[in-house]
Amino acid sequence: MDRRLFVSDLARYAALCAVVPNVWRVTSRPRFADDPFQLGVASGDPTASGGVLWTRLAPRPLEPEGGMDGLRTTVTWEVADDEGFTKIVKKGTATAAPELSYSVHVNLDGLPADRWYFYRFQSGGATSNVGRFRTAPAEGSLTPLSLGVASCQHWEQGLFTALGHLAHEEIDLVTHLGDYIYEYAGNPRTVRTHAGLEIRTVDDYRRRYAQYKTDPHLQAAHARCPWVVTWDDHEVDNNYAGLVGENGFESVEQMRTRRAAAYQAWWEHQPVTVPRAQSWADLNITRSINWGALARFWVLDTRQYRDDQACNDGTQLMCDGARDPRRGLLGAAQEQWLTNGLGASRSHWQVLAQQIMMAPYDAAPGADVRVSMDQWSGYPVARDRLLNAVAKRAPNRTVVLTGDIHTSWVNELHSDFSRPDKPVVAAEFVGTSISSGGDGAAVTVQRFDAMKRENPHLKWFENRRGYFKCTVNADSWTTDYRSVAFVEKPDAPVTTASSWRVTHGKPGIIAV
């Protein structure tokens, strides 16, 4: 602990005690009546020399302030070479403060590259569970990567069994592509019920995160390795676009306030670095993460900066509004940052960690074209502009990771989907959901064939819950889809439903 801070806190504490004598009585008892670490620990955004460690004090997670008492609280943290913490390599203290819901974000630096560590927190005599964390490989290194990809974990629609399996995989990193929480009011006729009404205020969002974070499978998956997290719509409001809410009748002031609440609570509960924004309503989470020279992750936000969905949102016949070339999904600044970056980066693989399906999906048979206006399909000019940039700057070494739609898809991405003769330039792996949508169902050969007739770039489709695992080296990218047969009851085993490979520098995705 910083000595000056300690002395000044001690002086302030002594002054406080002189005025309020019963403070002595309170602190003479153990600080917490209940375990303050019930939300677990997490780490994220690894660099070659550090990353972020996270926890939040919440002795009674669903109560106001998580059961805390309004006082700032000191939390110590330790990073060790061994699980028994006999070889501590770094330690320090942080202050958990009520204005940030007693969350703790430790920015680690000065550690050697490409190494695993263990970490834990302590406060008021209580000790957290132990998390594993690793630094990224050194700049220039082609050390292979084993990556887990998850998204969409609706508390009410299923158990997080798949995250429990993810926690047992040999992986270096997890990318979570959003819908980490859902905003809806509690429904008693579900697998397990959300606490409270639809969430709108910062305290509502905090309580919802607290409820989700009590899940033991989610905690185990966080403790397993660092995560790189982005958000999708349900961290705020279903299908919101910029400052337009789901229902369209919210005022700009209401949406800005709701976004500020949602974005702040997101930051408080995720292992991410200090926000870059003048206000929480404008929190910019786009960032890039390097895995040595092997892979560069472009962590995208396709919600905050998008133009409103065309043609009343939903799945609609293609319309002129959707084709308006002025409409975008990333916003001009993010699009430029990404396309310039793809050109400048010398990383072996370029990885787009983003939310919505990039490949078009035509749901109408025959000549009609019916697409989801919420996906890249509803912004076809912006999609083809981005894929054209991929074709020029990082062809056949770009992989798009997608969440959002609660089904698994393997898609070959062409440089311009308005011209089917244009070459394949990238691969898209769409993960299913951890629990959203419930158990799922088998897909018949007839159904898949009908889908493929309208969408020849589609290689595979499945409607089961799970995640996918990517094994990446300089020559190839292999994706294994890991599925569970049910989530509405516990203990489903995990199986590999299918496996796919992209060869560096070659177009296309092949089954393995």
Stretch that binds Fe ion, among 16-24, 174-182, 290-298, 456-464 (CB under 5 A): 174-182
Q: Smallest distance from the beta carbon of 221 to Fe ion, in angstroms?
A: 17
Stretch that binds Fe ion, among 74-82, 179-187, 237-245, 338-346 (CB under 5 A): 179-187
How many Å apart are CA 175 and CA 399, to the nearest integer? Answer: 13
Footprint of Fe ion on residues 445-504 (CB under 5 A)?
Answer: none
Q: Smallest distance from the beta carbon of 466 to Fe ion, in angstroms?
A: 14
Q: Smallest distance from the beta carbon of 178 to Fe ion, in angstroms?
A: 7
DSSP letters along 21-66, please? THHHHHHHS-S-SS-TTTT-EEEE---SS-EEEEEE--SSTTSGGG
Identity of the residue, 152 or 171, whose beta carbon is nearer to Fe ion in the bound complex = 152
Which residue's entry shows tokens 């898209």? 428
Q: Smallest distance from the beta carbon of 430 to Fe ion, in angstroms?
A: 12
Q: Smallest distance from the beta carbon of 370 to Fe ion, in angstroms?
A: 21
Identity of the residue, 17 or 441, whose beta carbon is nearer to Fe ion in the bound complex = 441
Q: Smallest distance from the beta carbon of 338 to Fe ion, in angstroms?
A: 23
Q: Smallest distance from the beta carbon of 234 to Fe ion, in angstroms?
A: 6
Q: Smallest distance from the beta carbon of 406 to Fe ion, in angstroms?
A: 6
Q: Smallest distance from the beta carbon of 122 to Fe ion, in angstroms?
A: 36
Judged by CB under 5 A, how many residues of this single chain contact Fe ion? 3
Stretch that binds Fe ion, among 146-154, 269-277, 279-287, 312-320 (CB under 5 A): 146-154
How many Å apart are CA 304 and CA 325, to the nearest integer? Answer: 19
Distances (CA, A) of 20 to 6, 25, 27: 20, 10, 12
* β 408-414/370-372 pair status: unpaired
- Helix, strand or coil for residue 390? helix
Identity of the residue, 334 or 402, whose beta carbon is nearer to Fe ion in the bound complex = 402
Tokens of 254: 């209401």
Q: Does 179 bind Fe ion (CB under 5 A)?
A: yes
493, β-bridge pairs:
none
Stretch that binds Fe ion, among 289-297, 372-380, 436-444, 478-486 (CB under 5 A): 436-444
Residues 152-171, mask of contacts with Fe ion (x by CB under 5 A) = x-------------------
Q: Does 301 bind Fe ion (CB under 5 A)?
A: no
- Helix, strand or coil for residue 466? strand
Footprint of Fe ion on residues 17-36 (CB under 5 A)?
Answer: none
Identity of the residue, 38 or 157, whose beta carbon is nearer to Fe ion in the bound complex = 157
Identity of the residue, 318 or 430, whose beta carbon is nearer to Fe ion in the bound complex = 430
Q: Smallest distance from the beta carbon of 403 to Fe ion, in angstroms?
A: 7
Tokens of 472: 């990446």
CA 466 to chain centroid: 15
* β 295-299/173-176 pair status: unpaired
Identity of the residue, 96 or 357, whose beta carbon is nearer to Fe ion in the bound complex = 357
Angle between helices 380-393 and 331-344 (to 10 degrees): 20
| AA letter at 340 | N
Stretch that binds Fe ion, among 144-152, 198-206, 217-225, 468-476 (CB under 5 A): 144-152
Question: H helices of 146-238, where?
Answer: 161-166, 202-213, 216-224
Identity of the residue, 47 or 407, whose beta carbon is nearer to Fe ion in the bound complex = 407
Identity of the residue, 179 or 237, whose beta carbon is nearer to Fe ion in the bound complex = 179
Q: Smallest distance from the beta carbon of 411 to Fe ion, in angstroms?
A: 18
Stretch that binds Fe ion, among 173-181, 326-334, 439-447, 504-512 (CB under 5 A): 173-181
Q: Does 111 bind Fe ion (CB under 5 A)?
A: no
Which residue's entry shows tokens 């699980």? 83
Torsion of CA 384, 389, 394, 396, to 10 degrees: 20
How many Å apart are CA 282 and CA 232, to the nearest integer? Answer: 15
Identity of the residue, 152 or 330, whose beta carbon is nearer to Fe ion in the bound complex = 152
| AA letter at 42 | A
**Nearest alpha carbon to residue 355 among 178, 235, 150:** 178
Q: Smallest distance from the beta carbon of 148 to Fe ion, in angstroms?
A: 17
How many Å apart are CA 107 and CA 54, to the nearest integer? Answer: 9
Q: Smallest distance from the beta carbon of 146 to Fe ion, in angstroms?
A: 25
Which one of residues 436, 437, 460, 468 is an interface residue with Fe ion (CB under 5 A)? 436
Residues 187-216, mask of contacts with Fe ion (x by CB under 5 A) = ------------------------------
Stretch that binds Fe ion, among 9-17, 271-279, 320-328, 433-441 (CB under 5 A): 433-441
* β 398-402/424-430 pair status: parallel
- Helix, strand or coil for residue 99? helix
Identity of the residue, 179 or 428, whose beta carbon is nearer to Fe ion in the bound complex = 179
**Nearest alpha carbon to residue 402 among 310, 508, 292, 479:** 479
Identity of the residue, 58 or 152, whose beta carbon is nearer to Fe ion in the bound complex = 152
**Nearest alpha carbon to residue 232 among 359, 353, 398:** 353
How many Å apart are CA 435 and CA 405, to the nearest integer? Answer: 12
* Cβ atoms of 380 and 323 closer than 8 Å: yes
Residues forming contacts to Fe ion in the complex (CB under 5 A) are: 152, 179, 436
